[in-house]
């Protein structure tokens, strides 16, 4: 069986954690390849809800876990997650690539300082130091996991460089000790390990963080994350050949959410948005911030599908729409009397476009069961398949692992 890349097609929070956990049983490992502890991947299992920021979502199925070199790794967060897993009796088999960038308290401070300086134009980052960490890597200042894990890190010279960026450098002694502890015995070459598994007939899920529209280059810049979220980043960041990427499964919510600032053409406010937020528990898994709510955006989704060569889609949170009396899909944007259907051509003025909606049959009061989806739901899914020219292979109708419908 080939590998599988699972990525978010919107602004993150599409429900990737649940989909990775659902598929993980058929794979031998799960690898994170991008982002850092800004991600919050939620898995509901029985009566427990788990949120992990760095550990790949294959952990509940006891899979081999990998954190690839493209990840910006906060060792303190990782230590907390490993401690939690231990407390829960979950055995973790984790390999961290030696080339991972390590996020220190300094990058988190830089994140907060830059956000404050932006004033009303703040990006609304998670303040996990993601942008500064990727920037410090580009400046070749920041240490890698191998530098601490294998003992070659020189704190004094690091401090000398850090002092160029901040007047008061946070004390890094404790951070250095904790980082060493968490990395000890876990450093390896993730790309090589994945290829070795593949050579013995085993396969791996590549678990994306954030979503396409938060990509540093292709998203709604500057309101994006500090790294890359596209499927094409999977092989480059992990250090495996492009042909090893496998199928691309894009995850999309049946509506749209966004947390943090930035353009959001289909955003709605008022009663419907408020009830969708409450019913859908649309609060940031990392920061607890209320997520902004909007209708499904076909213009943005066609762009996301095109950029990633999406093979199949997993459509999530359809159950939330059974509590809502309306059902809309944005089919175009309007700007100065002109209709636009290509997301990239709307990007220069994306904060000013107005959505053109198609009204579909509401799901209000429908009962969703695994045995049979109601006609209105099937019709919506088939409509998306026709418009996007991609198969919707999985439909999620509840937060539990079992509330998932496979479509043949």
Q: Which stretch binds ligand IMP (CB under 6 A): 8-16, 188-196, 266-274, 325-333?
A: 8-16
Contact flag: residue 123 with ligand IMP (CB under 6 A): yes
Structure token digits, residue 329: 């899909």
Cβ-closest residue to ligand IMP? 260
- Stretch of 9-17, 61-69, 195-203, 274-282 lying at the interface with ligand IMP (CB under 6 A): 9-17
Query: Which residue number, 186 or 218, has a Cβ lying nearer to ligand IMP?
Result: 218
For residue 41, indicate whether it is catalytic: yes
Measured from the CB atom, the residue of 201 and 288 that comes closer to ligand IMP is: 288
Smallest distance, ligand IMP to C-beta of residue 243, A: 28
DSSP codes joined into one string, 29-44: EEEE-S--TT--EEEE
Is residue 24 within 8 Å of 63, Cβ to Cβ?
Answer: yes
**Residue whose structure tokens are 């303040």:** 127
CA triple 117-108-106, angle to 5 deg: 100
Compose the 238-277 pattern: x for residues touching ligand IMP by CB under 6 A, - for all others.
---------------------xx-----------------
Contact 59, 24 (CB under 8 A): no
Answer for which of 4, 5, 9, 13 binds ligand IMP (CB under 6 A) is: 13
Catalytic residue among 21, 23, 28, 41: 41
State how far the Cα of 227 lies from the Cα of 66, in Å rounded to an integer: 18
- Which of 13, 21, 97, 319 is catalytic? The answer is 13
- Total Cβ atoms within 10 A of residue 124: 17
Query: Is the peptide bond between 54 and the residue preceding it cis, with omega within 30 degrees of 0?
Result: no
Q: Is 294 a residue that touches ligand IMP (CB under 6 A)?
A: no
Q: Which of 64, 95, 62, 61 is nearest to 78 (CA)?
A: 95
| Interface with ligand IMP in residues 40-69 (CB under 6 A) | 40
Angle between helices 173-183 and 75-87 (to 10 degrees): 50
Q: Is 111 a catalytic residue?
A: no
Please report how close the Cβ of residue 137 comes to ligand IMP at its closest, in angstroms. 14
CA atoms within 13 A on the CB side of 152: 7
Closer residue to ligand IMP in complex, CB, 33/153? 33
Q: Interface with ligand IMP includes 12 (CB under 6 A)?
A: yes
Hey, which residues are catalytic here?
A: 13, 41
């Amino acid at each position: 069986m080939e590998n599988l890349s699972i990525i978010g097609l919107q602004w993150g929070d599409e429900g990737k954690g649940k989909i990775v956990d659902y598929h993980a049983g058929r794979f031998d490992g799960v690898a994170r390849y991008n982002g850092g502890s800004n991600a919050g991947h939620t898995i509901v299992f029985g009566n427990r809800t788990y949120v992990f920021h760095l550990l790949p979502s294959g952990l509940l199925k006891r899979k081999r876990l990998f954190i690839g070199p493209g990840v910006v790794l906060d060792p303190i967060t990782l230590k907390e997650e490993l401690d939690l897993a231990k407390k829960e009796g979950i055995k973790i088999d984790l390999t961290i690539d030696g080339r991972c960038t390590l996020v220190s308290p300094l990058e988190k401070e830089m994140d907060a300082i830059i956000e404050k300086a932006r004033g009303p134009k703040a990006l609304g980052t998670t303040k996990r130091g993601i942008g500064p960490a990727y920037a410090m890597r580009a400046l070749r200042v920041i240490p890698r996991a191998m530098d601490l894990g294998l003992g070659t890190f020189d704190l004094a010279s690091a401090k000398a460089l850090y002092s160029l960026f901040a007047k008061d450098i946070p004390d890094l002694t404790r951070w250095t000790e904790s980082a060493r502890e968490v990395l000890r015995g876990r450093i390896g070459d993730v790309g090589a390990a994945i290829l070795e598994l593949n050579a013995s007939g085993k396969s791996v899920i590549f678990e994306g963080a954030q979503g396409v529209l938060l990509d540093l280059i292709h998203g709604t810049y500057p309101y994006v994350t500090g790294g890359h979220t596209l499927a094409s980043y999977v092989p480059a960041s992990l250090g495996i050949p492009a042909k090893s990427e496998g199928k691309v499964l894009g995850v999309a919510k049946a509506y749209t959410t966004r947390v943090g600032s930035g353009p959001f053409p289909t955003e709605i406010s008022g009663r419907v948005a408020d009830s969708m937020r409450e019913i859908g528990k649309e609060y940031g898994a990392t920061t607890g911030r209320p997520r902004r709510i909007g209708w499904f955006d076909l213009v943005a989704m066609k762009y996301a599908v095109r950029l990633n060569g999406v093979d199949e889609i997993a459509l999530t949170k359809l159950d939330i729409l059974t509590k809502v009396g309306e059902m809309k899909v944005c089919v175009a944007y309007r700007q100065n009397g002109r209709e636009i259907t290509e997301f990239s051509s709307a990007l220069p003025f994306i904060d000013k476009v107005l959505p053109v909606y198609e009204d579909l049959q509401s799901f209000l009061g429908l009962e969703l069961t695994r045995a049979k989806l109601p006609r209105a739901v099937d019709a919506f899914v088939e409509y998306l398949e026709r418009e996007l020219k991609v198969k919707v292979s999985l439909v999620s109708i509840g937060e539990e692992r079992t509330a998932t419908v496979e479509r043949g």
